[in-house]
Amino acid sequence: MHALYIEQRDINGKNLLSWDLAHHLYLRSVRDKVVVATDKPVELLSATRKQWFKLMRHVMRQQASTLNAPRLVELIEQISYMQNLSFSTKLPSGYLDADVTFAAIDDLIGIAPICRTAYITYDVSKEKRYMLTSWMPPGGAVVIYARQQPAAIKTQRKELKHGTNARTANQKSHQAALR
C-alpha cells in the first residue's frame, strides 16, 4: 500500500458500522468512487443507506436554520451531493458505475477498482489488501475496521432448590427486590 493514507477504526458496541461508515463518507466527501469490502454487501448497503438518509436530514435541518449566506451555499451543495450519491452491490464489468460499491473483497480484486477511498470491514489477508489497493492513486485512503472483542462477563448462576422453575424464581426475587 504505497503512498496511501491508512486509518484503523474500531467498532465497539456503542457505534454501529453503518453509522460510522456513513459519517466517515460524509466527512471525507471526496466526490470520487468508493469501494466497501464486506462479507455481507446487501445488508451493509441497506444499513449504511439508512444512516446516510438520516445524516442528510440532519444537514437539511442545519440548512433550514442557518442565516449565514456562505454556509447556506455550502450546505445546499452538500445536500445536492448527498442526494445524488449512488450506492450499489452490483459488480460492474469494468469501471465502477456507482459512487459507492459494496462487495466481497474477492469480487473487488477481480475488477481492480480505481477509487480514491476503500473501506475494509472484515479481516482479510495482507495480500488481498495489497491487491485491492494496488490500483488506488497516491494519496488515497484505506480505512480498515476492526471489531473489538467484547469483554467476558462472569455470571454466577443461582442454584435453585428442589427443581423450582427458574423463571418463577427470578420473578419472585425481582418482585421481592421491588418491595
Task: Locate the domains of the chain by residue range.
Answer: 5-150
In this prediction, what percent of the chain has a pLDDT beyond 90? 46
Length of the chain, in residues: 179
Instruction: Work out the average pLDDT over 57-74.
Output: 94
- Parallel/antiparallel/unpaired status of strands 100-103 and 117-120: unpaired
Question: In the predicted model, is pLDDT for residue 11 greater than 90?
Answer: no
pTM for this prediction:
0.76
Instruction: Please enumerate, as own/partner, the contacts of 27-30 that have beta carbons within 8 Å and a separation of 24 or more.
Output: 28/117, 28/141, 29/78, 29/81, 30/116, 30/117
The amino acid that residue 137 corresponds to is: P
- 93: pLDDT confidence band, cut at 50, 70 and 90? confident
Closest by CA position to 21, among listed 2, 40, 4, 128: 40
| Mean pLDDT to the nearest integer, 132-150 | 84
Does position 44 have pLDDT exceeding 90, yes or no? yes
- More reliable by pLDDT, 168 or 55: 55
Q: What is the pLDDT of residue 143?
A: 93
pLDDT at 163: 53
Mean pLDDT calculated for residue range 51-80: 94
Cα–Cα distance, 84 to 100 (Å, whole number): 11
Q: Which residues pair with 100 in a beta bridge?
A: 34, 87
More confident residue, 29 or 100: 100
The Cα–Cα gap between 95 and 93 comes to: 7
Which of residues 161 and 48 earns the better pLDDT score? 48
Distance, CA of 96 to CA of 27 (rounded, Å): 22
In CATH terms, the fold of domain 5-150 is: Rossmann fold (3.40.50)
46-60, 63-77, 114-128, 150-164: least confidently modelled range: 150-164
pLDDT of amino acid 159: 55
The residue to which cell 491508512 is assigned: 6
